[in-house]
Amino acid sequence: MNPFRDYLSAVWNILRKDLQVEWRGRQGVPVMLVFSLLVVFLFNFALQLSPDLQAGLAAGLLWVSLAFASTLGLNRSVSLEQENKAMDGMLMAPVDRSAIYFGKVLSNFSFTFLVGLVLLPVFSLFYQQNMFKPMLVLVMVLGLGAYTSLGTLLAALSIQTRTRDVLLPVLLYPLALPILIAAVESSRSILAGQPIADYQSWMTFLLAGNILFTAAGLMFFETILEE
């Protein structure tokens, strides 16, 4: 057997399992979606945004609501495995543990990306500008990729603590800040219609974040889960 194909099939099986659980239960994505919309409404209300301000802030609001909402999904993806000791079962499987990490990152990414895709038309409607831009979707892929690869690692870490999922935002938000800054800055430039040269360095930065956090996950996921 080809070890690389075995590895990929382990990743794919984890991802497929998570997608299946989500499809049958529909308990993750809808909650994240409603929560992210609530964040948007709360911000509009709390900050008393005037229409001309709103347009400039759309990029920031989009990322803040995505960042908040995705912690729900991240927590759920690991707490789900704590039920019935499913995680122990996965750890006993004769596969490399980083495969579990990759599978989890991919499923978390799919869920948050889906929420992001639904938010785009909603934002276009509320903030009177077309947010369906290919570059913005690309920024979303890169930004959410880096965010969820860090988030999955930290969710696995925080679930080990006594406070469990309460800890995740405290660990994740400050560490993910550079990613959020880069994502907001490039989204803002894209929405303002600036040429790609203006935000290219932020995109490169996001790519670097993806590489860094995935490498961290590869290195430490096993260390975090060992008993």
Among residues 22 and 185, whose Cβ is nearest to another protein? Answer: 185
Q: Does 31 sit near another protein (CB under 8 A)?
A: no
Among residues 112 and 149, whose Cβ is nearest to another protein? Answer: 149
Query: Which listed range, 20-28, 97-105, 130-138, 206-214, lies at the site for another protein (CB under 8 A)?
Result: 206-214
Site for another protein in 6-25 (CB under 8 A): none
Show the binding pattern over residues 165-204: x = contacts another protein (CB under 8 A), - = does not: --x--xx--xx-xx--xx--x---------------xx--
Cβ of 224: how many Cβ atoms within 10 Å? 17
Residues contacting another protein: total by CB under 8 A = 30
d(CA 153, CA 150): 5
77 contacts: CB under 8 Å, gap ≥ 6: 18, 28, 104, 107, 108, 152, 155
Tokens (6 digits) for 101: 């990490």
Identify whether the C-beta of residue 207 lies closer than 8 Å to the C-beta of residue 144: no
Residue position matching structure tokens 């909402």: 69
CA distances from 5 to 69, 90, 96, 97, 181 (A): 34, 18, 12, 15, 37
Q: How far is the CB of 79 from another protein (least distance, A)?
A: 16
Identify whether the C-beta of residue 180 lies closer than 8 Å to the C-beta of residue 166: no
Among residues 113 and 213, whose Cβ is nearest to another protein? Answer: 213
Q: Does 153 sit near another protein (CB under 8 A)?
A: yes
Among residues 11 and 167, whose Cβ is nearest to another protein? Answer: 167
Give residues in contact with another protein (CB under 8 A). 150, 153-154, 157-158, 160-163, 167, 170-171, 174-175, 177-178, 181-182, 185, 201-202, 205, 208-209, 212, 216, 220, 223-224, 226
